[in-house]
Structure 1
Amino acid sequence: MKKFMAMTLTAVIGMAAFTGCGSTGSSGEAGKEGESAAIPVIGISQYGQHASLDNCREGFLKGLEESGLVEGKDFTVDYQNAGFDDNIATQIAQNFSANNVALMCAIATPSATACYAAAEDKNIPVIFTAITDPVKAKLNEGNITGTSDKLPVEAQLELIRSLQPEAKTIGILYTTSEPNSVSAIAEYQEKAPEYGFTIETIGVTQQAEVLQAADSMIAKGVDCISNLTDNTVVGVLPSILEKTNDAKIPVYGSEIEQVKLGCVASAGIDYVALGVQTGAMAAKVLKGEATAEEIPYETITNFDTYINSPALADMGIKVPADMAQKAIEATK
C-alpha cells in the first residue's frame, strides 16, 4: 500500500511538472482554460551556512537543470537555513509538510532526520545529501534516498603519513550527537593503527564548546588534527585554525573548502559533484520515473588530493614530488 501511495504521489508530481495539471506547489501562469497551473515546490532544508553545504545546494540545483528541469517552469524552490539549530531544522521540515511541498531536499543529517519525520505521514519524498552513514542515521528505509559523503579515511591517513612521516597522534573534534561524526571516528580508530597512528578524540554537544575543546586538544600535544565534515565544528573552523596555527599543529580538512580556509591538505570529495548526483536523483522522482523508495542511496567514490601550499609552508611541511604532481592547489 505504501509503495502504491508513493507511486501515486510521484505520478501527480510528474503531471504537475509537465502537463500543468495538479495542485501541489505554488500557482503558475493561467492555462488555456483560465485555470492556474501548479508548479511543484521543492523545499530545501540546509542545516547551516558553510561552503561545503552551500556547494551541495548549488550542485543539487545544477543536477536538476542537467536533467532537463527548469526552475520556474518545472519546479520552484523554497530554501530555508536552520543556522545549525536542530529545533529550527524541525520547524522548517514541519512547515514544508504543512505546505505540502512536492519534494524535500535535506542537506546534512539533522535536516534529513527532521524532514524524514515530517514527511513520513504524508509520504512526501525526501532526497538527502551530505550524509556520511545513512544506515546509522536510519535514513535508508521508506520514501527517502540520497547521497552519502562518506570520507575516504584510508586515503586521508595515507596523506597524513606522507606529509608527516614522524607523526604518531591524530586529534579529532566532533559532535557527540552527529551520526556522521561518530561513524567516521569509528573508522579512523579501526584503520589508524595500520598507518602507525593513534586517535585522540574530544566530543562536544554544542558549538559554544568547540573552541575550548580545541584548546584541550592542543594541550594534549597531538601531532596534527584531522577535521571531519562535522557541521558544528566546521562552523567555527577559522577560529580553530587561529589557535592551531599559533601552536604549529597542522589541521587536515575533509574537502576543498576547508583547505581553502587554511587546512594544510585533504583527501576529499567534491561537494558540488555530490549535489549534482543528488539533483539527478530528485529529477527522477519529479519526472515520475521512480519513487524515492525505489532508488537506493548512492555513495560518491571519487576523491582528490587538495593542498594549501602557504599553510604547509607555515608548518614547515614539504610536499613529496609525486603528491605535488597530482594534488590540486586550494587557496583563496
Structure 2
Amino acid sequence: MKEVKRIMVAAAAAVMALTAAGCSSSSSSSSSKSSSKVYKIGICQLVQHEALDAATKGFKEEVTKELGKSHVKFDTQNAQGDSSTATTICNNFASENEDLILGNATASLQAASAATKSIPILGTAVTNYQVALNLKKFNGTVGSNISGTSDLAPLDKQEKMIKDFVPNAKKLGILYCSAEPNSKYQADEVAKYAKKDGLKVTEYTLSDTNDVNSVTQQAASASDVIYIPTDNTAASCAKTINNVALKAKVPIITGEEGIMSKCGVATLSIDYYGLGKQTGKMAVQILTGKKKIAQMPVQYYKNPVKEYNPTICKKLGIKVPAGYKAYKN
C-alpha cells in the first residue's frame, strides 16, 4: 500500500512539473512576442503628386511585408512643396529618435541630412546624390548615415527622344524650378547633348508655383519643343503647363511618367512604385542589422521604358516612332 502511495505521489509530482514547464514555456513565448521590436519610421514626402505618392506606397508596402504590420509604425508627413516645412518635419523625426527616416525627393533628403547624423536616412526619388548633398567626391556610396535610390533615367537617351518625336526641331526650351538642384543638373546635362545635336537651347526657370503659367508661356512662344526633367514643382503644376503648351501646339518631352501623363508626349519612364519597394528592401536590411547603411551604394532603377502619351500625341498630330509603349492610366 505504501508502495502504491509512493508511485501516486511521484506521478502527481511529474504531472505538476510538466504543467509548470508548459506554463513557463508559454509565458516565455508570450513575453518574447510582447517585447518584439516595433520599428518607427518617419517619412517626409516633399509634395503630393503621382510619382512621389507611388514611391511612398511602394516603400511602406515592402517594409510592412518584410517586417509584419505589427512590427512597424510609420509617421508619414507631406511638406506641401515647402523646404522649410520639410526641415521642421525632419527635425521632429530626429527629436523623436525614429529608427529610420525616408526622404522622398531631394529637398526632403536634404532636410533629413541636416536634422541628424546618427539616424539612418534613405532617400528615394532623388536624381543625383552628389548634387543633392553637395558632396565633393562621390563613388556611388554616400557613407555616414545616408543611402537610398535614384530616379535618374539616362539623360542622353532622354535627349534622343526629342529628335524621335520632333525631328525638325531647332529650338529647345528646358523648363524647371530653379530651387531644385537636381533639376538644374538634368537641365545642364540635356542641354549639352542637345547642343551637340545642333539644337539652340534656352532654359526657362520657375521660382515657385506662382509663375508656372507665365514662364511656360515664354517657353512655348519661343521653342519648337520643351523638355521638363524630374522636377517636383513642374509635376505638381503639370495640368497648368499642359493648358499652355497644347494651345501653343508645342510638344513636351519629360523626365518621368507622372509629368508625361498630364502634359508630355513621351518619356523614358521608371516605375516609382517599384523604386519605393526597392528602397523598402534597403530599409529592412538596415533595421534588421543585415547591412550597414554607410556601406550601401545608392541604387538605380533598372530597365526604364520608352513611353508615349496617346492622347496628347493625337491632339498634336505627332506620329509615334517605333519602339515606344503607349501609356495607360
What are the within-5 Å matches in structure 2 for residues 2-21 of structure 1?
Answer: none
For 1:189, which of 188, 191, 196 is the aligned residue? Answer: 191
- Contact 1:44/1:107 (8 A) holds in 2: yes
Contact 1:127/1:146 (<8 A) preserved: yes
2:74 corresponds, among 74, 77, 94, to 77
1:93 aligns with one of 87, 90, 95: 90
* 8 A Cα contact 2:104 2:125, kept in partner: yes
Q: Is the 8 A contact 1:60 1:277 kept in 2?
A: yes
Superposed displacement of residue 281, structure 1: 0.8
Would the aligned equivalents of 2:151 and 2:301 in 1 still touch at CA under 8 Å? yes
Letter in 1 for 2:182: N
Aligned residues: 294
Give the one of 120, 126, 129 matched to 2:121.
Answer: 126
The AA in structure 1 aligned to 2:68 is V
Q: Please give the TM-score of this superposition, normalised by the length of structure 1.
A: 0.83
Q: Distance in 2 between the 1:32 and 1:281 partners?
A: 29
Q: Classify the secondary structure of the residue corresponding to 1:290.
A: coil
State the shift of 1:331 in Å.
Answer: 4.0
- Structure 2 residue aligned with 1:261: 262
Contact 1:176–1:205 (Cα < 8 Å) also in 2: yes
1:250 paired residue number = 251
Q: Distance in 2 between matches of 1:269 and 1:70?
A: 27
Relative to 1, partners in 2 of residues 1:100 and 1:161: Cα closer, same or farther, differing over 3 Å?
same
| CA root-mean-square deviation | 2.0
Residue of structure 2 in register with 1:239 after alignment? 240
Confirm or deny that 1:272 pairs with 2:282: no
Deviation at 1:48, TM superposition (A): 0.4
Q: Which structure has the bigger radius of gyration?
A: 2
1:106 shift after superposition: 0.6
- Counterpart in 2 of 1:39? 38
CA contact (8 A) 1:106 1:129 kept: yes
C-alpha distance in structure 1 between counterparts of 2:216 and 2:175, whole Å: 7
Provide runs of 4+ in structure 1 moved above 3 Å. Answer: 33-38
Q: Which runs of 5+ in 2 are unaligned?
A: 1-28, 136-141
Distance 1:329 1:34 in 2: 49
Q: Cα offset for 1:273?
A: 1.6
Compare the two structures and name the one with the higher helix fraction. Answer: 2
- Structure 1: unaligned runs, 5 residues or longer: 1-29
Could you state the TM-score of these two structures normalised by the residue count of structure 2? 0.84
| 2: CA distance, partners of 1:199 / 1:65 | 46
Distance in 1 (CA, whole Å) between partners of 2:300 and 2:150 is 5
Match of 1:167, SS state, is coil
